[in-house]
Structure 1
């Protein structure tokens, strides 16, 4: 027996990583699904401004569930077992499900990126920034096409991958490393785009840092991409590749789920704001009955919206329906920041506030 081949004892062949992998995949997928449900509720029911970015992230979540289902099938047919413990008759099915999981995984990540670009488009409608978004959309779409072609053409014919036919293959190292590198580049682009927004606003450094944390949470998606590559290395180099496949599948699902969660965090700010605004609105209503001021709220046309609240709000045409719960201090839940230098009241996106004094008996 060669030095690279372990002793195939019954205990060794009985080792199984699949239970832990199933738990990990299910947990991260369920967590991302919960976040998307909360986001859909906040945007659709509380804020009533369900946009393209929200719809796209819901589609990405559905695809993430498909990725989970395909990953569980890969585990079912032997990923997480030692390669010598797999029934040779089941090996072709393992690789077929693996190819399917890889393709859907890449499409799910692309859908996450498109959702992120749609969110940035809504957040910053300035023409120059929209050019960046269009170029980014073209780039990430071209990368998706390249990744799909690499996976689909890694063996010619593809059946040669699982021994169903004679053919020529690129090699697993070329396939995994090239597609993973493209993924990290795309994730980094989506991560860096919000920095353009952060540097363009009027705010003190502390508020810019806080906004960066909210918008750039995608750094964790990049980190999971790196972890996935690290998990791939032994699967590529070691003869016992299937033993390491389970770890790769967990990181693949974690990467998609992390991207979904990261892109949903800014939208969840509206839920916190709506709850706080509802409480504040109730106290303001009580004050108006006590005789201080009469606060009148008027719905603003969806076309009247601003990039941010400040001295020089950039007016734009908003395609999303706007009916956001307002706070009496003039800040709506769509606003991610307020210009501290401003002394005037600018209401973001949804409400117009007018205050008038009334004198009884006149």
Structure 2
């Protein structure tokens, strides 16, 4: 777009500022490109590692894998829509955006809202599907059902509101969209926190060597980081209420959103990379084996779900007649095995949380 004396911006510029309709890239747009590309590449790499682990190492896939792939497609759509929206004023000050650009910008804004709603929702549903598959406990599964209903319900409700009462194409007032953004940010923080805390009761019973505790702590720290980013974003969105420069401020908020969306995909993938580490980076796990070997004899072996077998051995002496004054002593080992099951749990759906986090032959270097 070329500058013209007849062109005016949607809002007047501040005193001493000349409007620029050349369409040249702003510093904010440059930052958006850097953050969008880096975060999308990171989530793509981690997702590829997860899919490699599930398809070629574990040789099994589930609903949680499908959901996280759909969430990743949302991250890609977020990047494409953001870059496409540059030509319509996304990342420009409102006084550099013409009325002719506004309808297309609003259409892009609808796409941004829908993607922002469903991309984290699918990542959360993927984690919940994973927890459901691995955990047969009825109480935990009841919590999972409730969170699935909550995430699906508010995502659908926000989509309906954004397409109807708060549709920017038919409502010039941005207050509705700002309020909707605040609600989305709040509900995302709440559900992120609940899903982050959901596996804690399951993991408390597991006795892990220090190295594994550190690795597990990194997983939770990453999830906590997403919650922190969401909190920072809600503070920024709240500060936008009194600022009419929407095309610029929305773009700044979307930088935080990019980290939030791709971070959700990374969190949903990273917990399943243990078999990949065992196969290609066993030195990490050998360190945890050394840390845990000193007190292995004192550690209670615990497997949360599925079979727990105990073995007891008894020695029976036998003797044969002396031959040449050489007495042969032989022993017969009789082994009894039995299984203990919790009758209050439901049926597992093909795994256990023990496979992800607890000590195993792979983690501890074998028994």
Name the counterpart of 1:51: 62
CA shift in 2, pair 1:252/1:169, >3 Å: closer
Matched, 1:100 2:111: yes
Shift of 1:317: 5.0
What is the aligned partner in structure 2 of residue 159 from structure 1?
169
1:336 aligns with 2:357: yes
Q: Using a 3 Å threshold, how does the CA distance of structure 1 residues 116 and 103 change in structure 2: closer, same or farther?
A: same
Distance 1:310 1:172, change over 3 A: farther
1:101 to 1:141, Cα distance in 2 relative to 1, 3 A:
same
Instruction: State the secondary structure of the residue aligned to 2:255.
Output: helix
Asked whether the equivalents of residues 194 and 216 of structure 1 are also in contact (C-alpha less than 8 Å), the reply is: no
Residue 252 of structure 1 corresponds to which residue in structure 2?
A: 257
TM-score relative to the length of structure 1: 0.71
Match of 1:139 in 2: 150
Change beyond 3 A, Cα 1:27–1:111: same
Matched ranges for 1:12-23 at <5 A: 16=26, 17-23=28-34
Partner of 2:295: none
Q: Distance in 2 between matches of 1:201 and 1:310?
A: 17
TM-score (norm 2): 0.71
Whether 2:216 is the aligned partner of 1:211: answer yes
Decide which of 262, 267, 282 is 2:267's aligned counterpart.
Answer: 262
Asked if 1:7 corresponds to 2:7, the answer is no
| 1:78-117 equivalent positions in 2, closer than 5 A | 78-117=89-128
Greater CA radius of gyration, 1 or 2?
A: 2
CA–CA distance in 1 between the matches of 2:198 and 2:105?
A: 38
Q: How does 1:116-195 map to 2 (within 5 A)?
A: 116-155=127-166, 159-161=169-171, 171-195=176-200
- String of CA shifts for 1:51-98, please: whole Å, max 9, x gaps: 221221111111211122112223331121110111210111111111
Matches within 5 A, 1:276-315: 306=305
CA RMSD of aligned residues (A): 3.8
1:345-356 matches, within 5 Å, as none
- Partners of 1:169 and 1:229 in 2: how far apart? 16
Structure 2 segments unaligned to the other structure (5+ residues): 1-10, 286-303, 311-339
Query: Which deviations, in whole Å up to 9, do the C-alpha atoms of 1:254-285 show, x marking residues without a partner?
Result: 2110011112111112200233679x9xxxxx
- The answer on whether the counterparts of 2:138 and 2:346 sit within 8 Å (CA) in structure 1 is no
Given that 2:20 and 2:96 are in contact with CA atoms closer than 8 Å, whether structure 1 keeps it comes out as: no
**1:310 to 1:113, Cα distance in 2 relative to 1, 3 A:** farther
Query: Separation in 1 of the partners of 2:137 and 2:243?
Result: 51
Q: Who is 1:69 aligned against?
A: 80
Contact 1:198 1:212 in 2 (8 A): no
Q: Is the Cα contact below 8 Å between 1:192 and 1:216 reproduced in 2?
A: no
The equivalent of 1:240 in structure 2 is 245
Residues 27, 272 of structure 1: CA spacing in aligned structure 2 closer, same or farther, 3 A cutoff? Answer: same
Structure 1 position 208, deviation (Å) = 5.7
Give per-residue Cα distances to partners, 1:207-256, cap 9 Å, x unaligned.
66753543563112211212222332443321222222221222222211
Residues 26 and 208 of structure 1, relative CA distance in 2, 3 Å threshold = closer
Q: Secondary structure at the match of 1:171?
A: helix
Decide which moves more: 122-131 or 170-179.
Answer: 170-179
Which residue of the other structure, out of 220, 227, 246, is the alignment partner of 2:225?
Answer: 220
Greater Cα shift, 219-228 or 259-268: 219-228
Counterparts in 2 of 1:202 and 1:10: CA distance versus 1, 3 Å? closer
